[in-house]
Structure 1
Amino acid sequence: MTLTVKDALRAYARMLNTCDLEPLSPFLSDDFRYTSQMVLTSIGSKADFLTYMREKLDVIRGRDDRPVAEMGYLPAMFNRPCLVLSERDSNTAICTVLTEVSNQKLVQIDLCLIPTPGSAKRTGERPGE
């Protein structure tokens, strides 16, 4: 199977929507990078990301206001696939998620305020729900 950007986004969404690392971890490259425009530092390895995300999912799992990840695309970026993270109850958009795939592995995930989640067209697809 050829890993596409959409496949990588669906795997990340499934991981977040189910609070389970298993849908995502097989696709991560060893030198995987996780960045967020809301945080000054990034995570620069698969091992560090898995440790970070395991702890984060434990916290999310216990919350009533868990975020939800929905497939979308960005018309202003030539319909580039993305995710929109939003608050489950209010559906208020939090951020846009972009990914990079290389050599059949997910090499980067970026949580973005720009492009804005409001600029994305949401599809209604919420993998894992």
Structure 2
Amino acid sequence: MTRLAKVMKWVAALFAIGLVSICLIRFGFRPTGRDCVRQGSPDGAYIAERCLLEWRPGGNSDYQGRVYDSKSGVLLVERTFSTPVPDLSWSEDSVAFSRGGDESSFVTLPPTWFDRLKAAIP
């Protein structure tokens, strides 16, 4: 091998190690909440769960919302959001984890491929 090829091989290896490390750090942590509330969708296809992550009296507390397939139990969507008023409510094609707060507490159903991909990463 030429010297340039060896250097490129090492650079590629270091890049791959760095990328895997970033993914493990970024996606390897899945917070666990408390005071969870679970509720099935009206059509029975999904189960939604909202859990408290951090309570902030008088402010926007942090929550985690998850949507599961009711038959298989597979996690389909996972979101972290802040809201002053947690409320689990279903519509025909969505679930909302709060009244107010940020937009990440709203999930369209069926979940997008990106939502499913993010939920599949440990």
How high is the TM-score relative to the length of structure 1? Answer: 0.31
More strand by share: 2
Larger-gyration structure (1/2): 2
How high is the TM-score relative to the length of structure 2? Answer: 0.32
